[in-house]
Amino acid sequence: MKRLVNIVKNEILKIFYKKRMHVITAILFIVIILFAYGEHYTLSKAQERAAVQFEIENEEEWKNILELQLADLERRLDSAYIPDRGKASIRVRVEQIKFYIDYDVNPISSSVARFMGRLIEQSIFLFLPLLIILLAADMVSGEMTFGTIKLILTRPVKRWRIIMGKLLALSMLEMVVISMIALLSYLIASMVFSYSGFNEPVVTGFRVLENQLDTSAVRTIPQWQYLLMVYAIAYFVAFVIGSLSLMVSVMVQSTSASIGIMMSTLIGGSFLSLFISEWKITRYFFTTNLNLTAYLTGDFQIVEGLSMSFSILVLLGWSIGAIIIAFIFFTQKDILS
Amino acid sequence: MIKKIIWYTVGIIFVLGLGFFAYGFKNAISIGNAINKEPNNIATTEEEKIDAFEADSVLVIGDSLARGTGDLTGKGFAGYVVEGLEKEKGADIPYYNIAIEGLKTQMLLSQVKEPKMAEGIRQAGIILISIGGNDLRAMTKTQSEEKLSSFNEAMRIFLDQLDQILRVIRLENEKAMIVFLGLYNLDYSATNAINSEYLLEWNHATQKLIESYEFTVFTPTYDLFKLNLEDYISQDGLHPNTKGHAAIGERILINLN
């Protein structure tokens, strides 16, 4: 046990000495700043448009419009001609509007919490996996490239311990990356958006029933709870991508090959699942299932048989498979100079 | 020293993160499966109410205007009419508002044809209808070259459907007073002259159709809003506000007396 901990510690320090985390932090910093600026810009434009449309001259008038909408929705709830399925979504809308009125929040404006959620929702299927590939792709192949693998393997440590150590170190660093995204987006968003909004209600609870989006179970949860969910999902995705990258890293000799293979698989896979969604086998691709947060927000494309639990199982299958292959390959491998 | 800091920071972040995320992940998986806790019986009580229509009731059908959209009190012009009638009669009058926001004439036609509507129509003493605004607006929004022909086509379809609606109502109920609300303009300025002309023609043709039936009254709103647009239109720029609804209600009351 002590030996394994030492290996993990050693692997983590190696990553830090290679300045890998610095690069990732720098990329994150730039991307988040750009994203925050873009979000701010889009929203201020939307506000201006809305102000023109509703002929609003001062802030106070927002409330009148919201109250009008509220009265309207509440009347709709009383109507016998709206099916129960529709009523659930009206009810959550009512809840949201009441919150905006009670807390004096302009609905067309972003908050720190909303930004943090949007960032991870947008990056979970491409940007986050790319960062993880950057982190994981050279864990083993890097040792081959520089020849340090021989130094490691001549030590009296079992091979499975080494690869286990690498896997654990990777899992820990993935957590660091996710926390970094959360921290950086929180700090940057706090400077751009004035309202923190961690208690604001978020709509979630969408399901697919008989191939249709079922909104009868929608409800609101506070934003902080939602954030916890999406960041947890992001960590899961990072873990899956990490295990796949580790497997590729074990199998090829050079880091660039390993990064290249993972990136092309990721991008090619998303293309495939986008264009040939009719073909049923694409739902078993890991790329098709990466966008897990969409199941929470309800803006997913409805594909028969695809659901949150299905996607999680598929991803889990891929990652377990990848880990097993990586272990077998690494322990059986012949190291040639 | 630095080694230790790095190692402990990463370790602490990992352990804490794992704890938080385990909780988050569990929630995320269960969120879609939970059952909506809100009671759903509001709907059934309303349905029951409609099943038990009472004699000489006031029935309101049509679009959002009939529903009362824009009126902050939620009553709508129909509500004011009923209040007025009740005050006069000194007793409660059963009142059913089954108007739906965004309804077009085609949908109203299928609504009145529904079997459960028959009883409601039969029991009604007064039927208030507001329909056609959504049809006309959908047409005037388009910027087509052949606007005139598309307008004529839209109006022909509207009149045909309205005629069918009135016939369905008359089939069930020969004596109920039908009050049909004319359309008002949202822009009386000269720049909107073409659309205004269409609207006037639409109202005129509608009025002629309404007048061809017995016990009907066409209540115009065009004149009511012309000089009071700022005062009467709510903030959505489309529906009357509380004052506007009250004014329409008052006018219908005068007509009914």
Give B227-251 pLDDT, tens digit per residue. Answer: 888 889 887 778 898 899 999 999 9
Residue A233 exposure: Cα atoms within 13 Å on the Cβ side: 31
Cβ-nearest to A235 among B21, B38, B47: B21
For residues B8-31, average pLDDT: 89
DSSP state of A333: -
pLDDT score, position A227: 94
Minimal C-alpha gap between B76 and chain A (Å): 11
Q: Does pLDDT of A4 surpass 80?
A: yes
Cβ-nearest to A233 among B7, B28, B37: B28
Structural domain contains residue A52: no
Q: Does pLDDT of A241 surpass 50?
A: yes
Residue of B48, B235, B239 to mutate when probing chain A, most A C-beta within 10 A: B235
How many of the other CB atoms lie within 10 Å of CB of B134?
Answer: 19
Alpha helices in B93-192 (DSSP H): 105-113, 115-123, 133-141, 147-172
Cβ-nearest to A231 among B21, B35, B67: B21
- What one-letter code names the amino acid at A37? Y
Residue B37, both tokens:
């806790």
Cβ-nearest to A68 among B32, B33, B236: B236
Structural domain contains residue A173: yes
Phi, psi (deg, nearest 5) at residue A193: -105, 135
Cβ-nearest to B31 among A82, A172, A296: A296
Structural domain contains residue A328: yes
Q: Does pLDDT of B69 surpass 90?
A: no
How many angstroms separate the CA atoms of A1 and B167, rounded?
87
**Confidence tier at A18 by pLDDT (50, 70, 90):** confident
- Residues comprising chain B, all counted: 257
Helix %, strand %, coil % of chain B (to 5): 60, 10, 30
Residues in chain B within 8 Å Cβ distance of A176: 10, 13-14
Say if the Cβ atoms of A9 and B7 lie within 8 Å.
yes
How many angstroms separate the CA atoms of A322 and A324, rounded?
5
Say if the Cβ atoms of B31 and A204 lie within 8 Å.
yes
Which is nearest to A4 in space by CA: A154, A160, A136?
A160
Nearest CA in chain B to A64: B235
Structural domain contains residue A88: no
For residues B111-140, average pLDDT: 88
Structural domain contains residue A285: yes
Cβ-nearest to A65 among B24, B49, B235: B235
How many angstroms separate the CA atoms of A59 and A52, rounded?
13
How many angstroms separate the CA atoms of B59 and B93, rounded?
11
- Does B32 contact chain A (CB < 8 Å)? yes
Phi, psi (deg, nearest 5) at residue B179: -105, 120
Q: Residue A206's domain spans which residues? A: 2-42+111-332
Average pLDDT over all residues of chain B: 84
Which is nearest to B165 in space by CA: B125, B242, B102, B111?
B111
**Taking the alpha carbons of A318, A319, A324, A326 in that order, is the dihedral positive or negative?**
positive
pLDDT score, position A210: 60
Residue B199, both tokens:
């609207």
Higher pLDDT, B46 or A222: A222
Residues in chain A within 8 Å Cβ distance of B49: 80
Which residue spans within B6-123 are E strands per DSSP?
Answer: 57-62, 95-97
Are A193 and A111 in contact by the 8 Å Cβ rule? The answer is: yes
Query: By percentage, how much of chain A surpasses pLDDT 70?
Result: 88
- Residue matched to tokens 């299928």: B110
Give contacts of B 213-242 with A, CB under 8 A: 234-237
Which is nearest to A297 in space by CA: A195, A198, A213, A193?
A213
Instruction: Write down the domain spans for chain B.
Output: 1-34, 44-256
Q: Does pLDDT of B45 surpass 50?
A: no
Q: Does pLDDT of A62 surpass 90?
A: no
Higher pLDDT, A195 or B191: A195
Residue of A81, A179, A311, A313 to mutate when probing chain B, most B C-beta within 10 A: A81
Say if the Cβ atoms of B20 and A53 lie within 8 Å.
no
- Pairing, β B124-130 against β B57-62: parallel
Residues contacting B203, CB < 8 A, separation 6+: B182, B183, B220, B222
- Does B22 contact chain A (CB < 8 Å)? yes
Which residue spans within chain A are E strands per DSSP?
Answer: 201-204, 207-209, 212-214, 219-222
Q: Does pLDDT of B48 surpass 60?
A: no
pLDDT score, position B39: 40
Residues in chain A within 8 Å Cβ distance of B40: 84, 87
Nearest CA in chain A to B3: A13
Residues in chain B within 8 Å Cβ distance of A81: 98, 100, 111
Residues in chain A within 8 Å Cβ distance of B70: 68
Residue B220 exposure: Cα atoms within 13 Å on the Cβ side: 16
Q: Does pLDDT of B143 surpass 90?
A: no
Nearest CA in chain A to B99: A79
**Confidence tier at B36 by pLDDT (50, 70, 90):** very low
Residue A96 exposure: Cα atoms within 13 Å on the Cβ side: 20
Higher pLDDT, A208 or A199: A199
- Does B7 contact chain A (CB < 8 Å)? yes
How many angstroms separate the CA atoms of A197 and B167, rounded?
55
When divided into structural domains, chain A yields a total of: 1
Higher pLDDT, A280 or B71: B71
Are B133 and B238 in contact by the 8 Å Cβ rule? The answer is: no
CATH architecture of B44-256: 3-Layer(aba) Sandwich (3.40)
Is ipTM strictly over 0.90? no
Helices A159-192 and A2-17 cross at an angle (nearest 10°) of 50
Could you read off the pLDDT of A262-282 as tens digits, one per residue?
A: 999 999 988 887 776 667 788
CB pairs A-B closer than 8 Å: 139
pLDDT score, position B50: 47
Judged on CB neighbours under 10 Å (0-12, 13-18, 19+), B80 is buried
Weakest mean pLDDT among A161-175, A238-252, B136-150, B203-217: B136-150
- Does B14 contact chain A (CB < 8 Å)? yes
**Confidence tier at A309 by pLDDT (50, 70, 90):** confident
**Confidence tier at A301 by pLDDT (50, 70, 90):** low
Q: Does pLDDT of A31 surpass 90?
A: yes
